[in-house]
Amino acid sequence: MSFKYYTPRLIVSKCLGFCNCRFDGSVLNSQTIEMLKPFAEINTVCPETEIGLPTPREALRLIRANNEEEIRLVLSYSGNDYTEKMKEYSKEVLSRFGEVDGFILKNRSPSCGTRDVKVYPSAGKVMIKDEKSSGIFAEQAMQIFPNSLFEDDGRLTNFVIREHFLTSIFALAHWRNVKSSNEHKELVQFHSEYKYLFMTFHQDTLSKMGKVVANQNKLSFQEVVQQYETLLNLILRHTPDPGKNINVLQHIFGYFSKHLQEPEKVLFLEMIEMYRKGRIPLSVPRFLLTSYARRFDEEYIANQRFFAPYPEELITISDSGKGR
């Protein structure tokens, strides 16, 4: 089975491989973004240069003075305040985009960082506070696009986080296509293909999605889509773990066990145990089940996105262990 993939729409920090626009004139490299280039629509932004700051420039920082409610964006030493300018720019530039599946932003940046930006008590040479926040641009983006996926370049070096991000953005891109089709059969097909993948995210939400698709109240396509999308955004907030993956592997194995010899069943159980103990990756038992789907011509199973949630060219097992 070869899967059709839809093109995720992303917004990415420009200094991650596109422009020497960091405060010191440097550019960074992100392996994930490099790999994504042929498969995604990538829109780049550099909030700091786009509000008129030069490169190289004095670094910006976030400050919360005297425990005030609002965090402000200021130049590190002169203290010039860019908070309002950055907020206005962010709203204006983000309003130019329609639906966005995901953001990949530079970590620790007072403008782009999604969660781990140091907060200082003031400009100048001072000790940092024991507080972290998101950058001003990232914060505005998260408010305007509450259902998009947000990750930073650092976290995407972690295998599990990257896997979740890639799976989600390709699912959202596919979903945009279903919505624009205006056809209930496309929704049924989408739900069918993603059933086992979404079961690894959250089983209860998957059941609710199934009821929406069944549409017993005979709602219009737009109403069904609205209800389904709410649940889709909810389910993508969950992260698969080995226990949920094993549950799905066992469900799928149930389609084939009646055809298999005892030693083959034992081998599968041994693989599950090795996966549970972290000795082999999920791809090993998954490949075995793919081979069974082909061997026994089980089309419904062969079509499951669980086996290939995103293009195989994006698969890499590298794992920094960071961001867990």
Say whether residue 14 binds ligand SF4 (CB under 6 A). Answer: yes
Residue nearest to ligand SF4 (CB): 15
Choosing from 40, 48, 162, 256, the residue that interacts with ligand SF4 (CB under 6 A) is 48
With respect to ligand SF4, which residue has the nearer C-beta, 63 or 171? 63
Say whether residue 191 binds ligand SF4 (CB under 6 A). Answer: no
> Coil, strand, or helix at residue 189?
helix
CB of 142 to ligand SF4, least distance (A): 15
Closest alpha carbon to 61 in 47, 50, 76: 76
With respect to ligand SF4, which residue has the nearer C-beta, 114 or 167? 114
Residues 109-148 contacting ligand SF4, CB under 6 A: 109, 111-112
The answer to whether residues 183 and 133 touch, using CB atoms and an 8 Å cutoff, is no
Q: What is the DSSP letter of 58?
A: P
Say whether residue 61 binds ligand SF4 (CB under 6 A). Answer: no
Transcribe 60-124 into DSSP letters: EEEE-GGG-SS-EEEETTT--B-HHHHHHHHHHHHTT-----EEEE-TT-TTT-SS-EEEESSSS
Say whether residue 21 binds ligand SF4 (CB under 6 A). Answer: yes
**CB under 6 A: which stretch of 14-22, 86-94, 148-156, 186-194 binds ligand SF4?**
14-22
Going residue by residue from 66 to 105, which x/- string records binding to ligand SF4, judged by CB under 6 A? ----------------------------------------
> Which are the contacts of 164, defined by CB distance < 8 A and separation ≥ 6?
239, 240
Say whether residue 209 binds ligand SF4 (CB under 6 A). Answer: no
Say whether residue 155 binds ligand SF4 (CB under 6 A). Answer: no
Choosing from 10, 33, 40, 46, the residue that interacts with ligand SF4 (CB under 6 A) is 46
CB of 137 to ligand SF4, least distance (A): 7
Say whether residue 15 binds ligand SF4 (CB under 6 A). Answer: yes
Q: Give the C-alpha separation, 93 to 136, whole Å.
A: 13
Based on the number of CB atoms within 10 Å of its own CB, is 159 exposed (0-12), middle (13-18) or buried (19 or more)? middle
Residues 23-42 contacting ligand SF4, CB under 6 A: none
Choosing from 61, 72, 106, 191, the residue that interacts with ligand SF4 (CB under 6 A) is 106
Total residues in contact with ligand SF4, by rule CB under 6 A: 12
With respect to ligand SF4, which residue has the nearer C-beta, 21 or 74? 21
Q: In Å, what is the CA distance from 248 to each residue of 35, 207, 241, 272, 289?
A: 28, 14, 11, 11, 11
With respect to ligand SF4, which residue has the nearer C-beta, 47 or 285? 47
Tokens representing 318 are 């590298």
Q: What is the DSSP letter of 259?
A: G
Q: In Å, what is the CA distance from 95 to each residue of 88, 104, 111, 194?
A: 11, 18, 17, 31
Q: Give the C-alpha separation, 254 to 271, whole Å.
A: 15
- Residue 61 β-bridge partners: 74
Choosing from 13, 90, 114, 158, the residue that interacts with ligand SF4 (CB under 6 A) is 13
**CB under 6 A: which stretch of 13-21, 68-76, 90-98, 179-187 binds ligand SF4?**
13-21
Element holding 266 (H helix, E strand): helix 262-276
> Which are the contacts of 143, defined by CB distance < 8 A and separation ≥ 6?
none
Choosing from 22, 72, 164, 202, the residue that interacts with ligand SF4 (CB under 6 A) is 22
Q: For binding to ligand SF4 (CB under 6 A), which residues are involved?
A: 13-15, 21-22, 46-48, 106, 109, 111-112
